């Protein structure tokens, strides 16, 4: 290869790398932000800030403090998943709603109302937990459909309809419970949020030179299969893109991205395996995340939602039934809000009149932090999940540090504002 050709190839490679970085800045930035926030709270929860300042010696012993922090402890990571599972589940539905160009302010009240109905069915009427779960999911779908009807067919703004729904279902939850808490729930129902998958393989003890920890073998096996599936899916997607003549990201970026993601998943799985294993709710989350990735990436239904959110009139002129699509989106959101309400009630082991209070704020913030556009038509499942984890890690870390709830709200509000400003800045720049 001549010097000129080599120089042209290098310049083209650099240009491609820069284009990929600009195109994926938000996605890469989210992952790096999550890692940075987790390392920050792992460092600060090690007790290094107990005297209010950091000495030079404490900075030099950074890795010692990282190891002694609280955030990465297996029990805390498990609690982090359990505490934020219902937010992540609702964020999946809220992503579709926001991509479609709408908003749903009622998800917190709907989840609290469904949890109250479940309590009455199981505690007062002694109905079977499986029957109760199915009935409550159907109730959530009906609630979502009823709101979607007014939005899709009567053309009433979603902000108004769901704001009314927030007040209505908050009041109905108070009425159903009679203003007091109701519980406890049957043991089978509690397993929805507090249960763990059984170790069908049997415990595995590592050799002493690897720490001698006893691991949940089934969790490790599932985790390794997940990592293999992730890598295979990523390779398949890259080959498919190249086979159709589309420009793929540079191989170095591709390898680096997958190595980082695989390392994060392995660390999480190893931590869970060293405690009690995979929580049942994490399996539910994993199935839903996979399903919604498939819907948004592979199904015509998902592509039509993006088209509708990008330009509703153009989508309608191209033959898309935007009213029916909106109706289905809110039905899905109602079902997921109901599932989140059941998980939250199972975690508390009681239904309370204040259940779901403020959930909608965390859910909407997670989706916007994850890169969804307020104008609709943009947003990804991975971004919404990472955004939810960012909010969850911040809540968990600030609670461990003893930050007052008022300052927690201030910090989360500033983070949300910063994410939206960053999104608007990138759009204006491009």
Reported as a pLDDT band with limits 50, 70 and 90, residue 68 is low
**Residue-level pLDDT at 287:** 92
Residue with tokens 């199915």: 134
pLDDT of residue 395: 86
Q: Are 174 and 353 in contact (CB under 8 A)?
A: yes
The pLDDT, as a whole number, for residue 19 is 58
pLDDT band at residue 25, thresholds of 50, 70 and 90? low
Confidence of residue 16 (pLDDT cuts 50, 70, 90): low
- Sequence-ordered strand ranges (E) for 195-340: 204-205, 214-215
Mean pLDDT of 27-47: 79
User: What is the predicted pLDDT for the residue at 391?
Assistant: 87
Q: How confident is the model at residue 88 (pLDDT cuts 50, 70, 90)?
A: very high
Ranking 40-44, 50-54, 134-138 by mean pLDDT, the lowest is: 50-54
Question: Which residue has better confidence, 35 or 330?
Answer: 330
Q: Which residue has the higher pLDDT, 62 or 183?
A: 183
pLDDT over threshold 60, residue 28? yes
Quick one: average pLDDT of 178-200? Answer: 88
Q: Would you state the structure tokens that stand for residue 298, as one six-digit string?
A: 């592979």
Cα 159–Cα 163–Cα 165 angle in degrees, nearest 5: 120
Compute the distance between CA of residue 409 and CA of residue 163 in angstroms, rounded to an integer.
21
> Distance of CA 232 to CAs 105, 111, 137, 159, 235, Å?
38, 36, 33, 41, 5
Task: Please report which confidence band the pLDDT of residue 170 belongs to, taking 50, 70 and 90 as the band edges.
Answer: very high
Task: Give yes or no for residue 48 having a pLDDT over 80.
Answer: no
Best-predicted range by mean pLDDT (52-61, 224-233, 245-254, 402-411): 224-233
- Residue 98's pLDDT is 94
Peptide bond into 57 cis (omega under 30): no
What is the phi-psi region of residue 172: left when phi exceeds 0, alpha when psi lies from -120 to 50, beta otherwise?
alpha
pLDDT 10s digits, 201-223: 888 887 777 777 788 899 999 99
pLDDT at 8 over 50: no
| Mean local confidence (pLDDT), 244-258 | 77
Q: What is the structure's pLDDT at 208?
A: 75
- Of 148, 100, 89, 161, the closest CA to residue 374 belongs to 100
Q: Is 207 helix (H, G, I), strand (E, B) or coil?
A: coil
**Mean pLDDT for the stretch of residues 231-259:** 80
**Nearest CA to 143 among 114, 163, 123?**
114
Q: How confident is the model over 268-282, as pLDDT tens digits?
A: 899 899 888 899 999
196 three-state secondary structure: strand
pLDDT of residue 203: 84
Q: Percent of the chain, pLDDT > 90?
A: 34
pLDDT at 236 over 80: yes
The string over 254-281, giving b where at least 16 C-beta atoms fall within 10 Å of a residue's C-beta and e elsewhere, is eeebbeebbeeeeebbbbbbbbbbbbbb
Q: Is the peptide bond before 184 cis (omega within 30 degrees of 0)?
A: yes
Q: Give CA separation, 111 vs 121, 137, 247, 337, 341, in Å.
A: 15, 10, 43, 5, 4
Which pLDDT score is estimated for 417?
81
Does the pLDDT at position 52 exceed 80?
no
Pairing state of beta strands 214-215 and 204-205?
antiparallel
Q: In the predicted model, is pLDDT for residue 41 greater than 90?
A: no
Averaged confidence pLDDT in the chain: 84
pLDDT of res. 138: 96
DSSP letter at 123 equals: I
CA 66 to chain centre: 25
Question: Which tens digits make up the pLDDT trace of 102-145?
Answer: 999 999 999 999 999 999 999 999 999 999 999 999 999 999 99
Q: What would the mean pLDDT of 153-181 be, rounded to a whole number?
A: 93
Residue with structure tokens 């997607």? Answer: 237
What is d(CA 358, CA 310) in angstroms, rounded to the nearest whole number? 29
Between CA 272 and CA 283 the distance in angstroms is 13
Q: Is residue 58 very low, low, confident or very high in pLDDT (cuts 50, 70, 90)?
A: low
Query: 317-373, pLDDT tens digit by residue?
Result: 888 899 999 999 999 999 999 999 999 999 989 899 888 888 898 899 889 888 887
Q: Is the pLDDT of residue 66 over 70?
A: no
Nearest to 153 by CA among 325, 334, 376, 337: 325
Q: Strand, helix or coil at 168?
A: helix
Give 146-164 pLDDT, tens digit per residue.
999 999 999 999 999 999 9
Three-class secondary structure of residue 86 per DSSP: helix
Report the chain's C-alpha Rg in angstroms: 23
% the chain with pLDDT above 70:
86
Q: Long-range contact list for 224-229, CB < 8 A, 24+ apart?
A: 224/269, 226/265, 226/269, 226/286, 227/262, 227/265, 227/266
> What pLDDT sits at residue 10?
47
């Amino acid at each position: 290869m001549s010097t000129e050709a080599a120089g042209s190839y290098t310049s083209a490679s650099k240009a491609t790398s820069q284009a990929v970085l600009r195109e994926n800045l938000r996605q890469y930035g989210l992952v790096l932000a999550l890692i940075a926030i987790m390392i920050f709270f792992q460092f600060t929860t090690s007790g290094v800030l107990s005297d209010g300042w950091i000495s030079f010696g404490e900075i030099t012993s950074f890795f010692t403090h990282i190891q002694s922090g609280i955030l990465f402890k297996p029990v805390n990571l498990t609690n982090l998943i359990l505490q934020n599972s219902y937010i992540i589940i609702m964020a999946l539905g809220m992503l579709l709603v926001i991509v479609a160009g709408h908003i749903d302010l009622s998800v917190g009240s709907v989840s609290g109302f469904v949890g109250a109905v479940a309590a009455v069915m199981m505690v007062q009427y002694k109905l079977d937990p499986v029957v109760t779960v199915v009935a409550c999911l159907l109730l959530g779908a009906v609630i979502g459909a009823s709101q979607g009807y007014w939005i899709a067919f009567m053309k009433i703004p979603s902000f108004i309809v769901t704001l009314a729904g927030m007040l209505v279902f908050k009041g109905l939850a108070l009425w159903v419970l009679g203003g007091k808490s109701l519980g406890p729930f049957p043991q089978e129902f509690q397993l929805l949020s507090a249960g763990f998958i059984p170790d069908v393989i049997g415990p595995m003890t590592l050799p002493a030179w690897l720490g001698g920890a006893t691991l949940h073998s089934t969790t490790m096996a599932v985790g390794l299969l997940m990592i293999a599936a992730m890598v295979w899916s990523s390779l398949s997607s890259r080959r498919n893109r190249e086979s159709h003549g589309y420009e793929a990201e540079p191989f170095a970026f591709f390898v680096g991205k997958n190595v980082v993601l695989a390392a994060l998943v392995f660390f999480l799985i190893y931590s869970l395996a060293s405690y009690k294993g995979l929580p049942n709710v994490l399996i539910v989350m994993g199935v839903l995340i996979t399903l919604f990735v498939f819907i948004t990436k592979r199904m015509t239904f998902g592509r039509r939602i993006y088209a509708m959110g990008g330009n509703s009139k153009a989508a309608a002129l191209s033959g898309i039934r935007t009213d029916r699509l909106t109706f289905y989106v809110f039905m899905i959101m109602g079902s997921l809000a109901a599932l989140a309400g059941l998980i939250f009630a199972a975690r508390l082991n009681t239904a309370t009149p204040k259940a779901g209070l403020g959930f909608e704020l965390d859910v909407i913030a997670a989706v916007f932090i994850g890169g969804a556009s307020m104008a609709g038509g943009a947003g990804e499942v991975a971004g919404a999940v990472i955004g939810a984890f960012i909010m969850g890690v911040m809540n968990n870390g600030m609670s461990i540090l003893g930050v007052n709830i008022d300052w927690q709200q201030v910090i989360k509000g500033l983070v949300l504002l910063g994410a939206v400003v960053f999104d608007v800045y990138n759009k204006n720049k491009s």
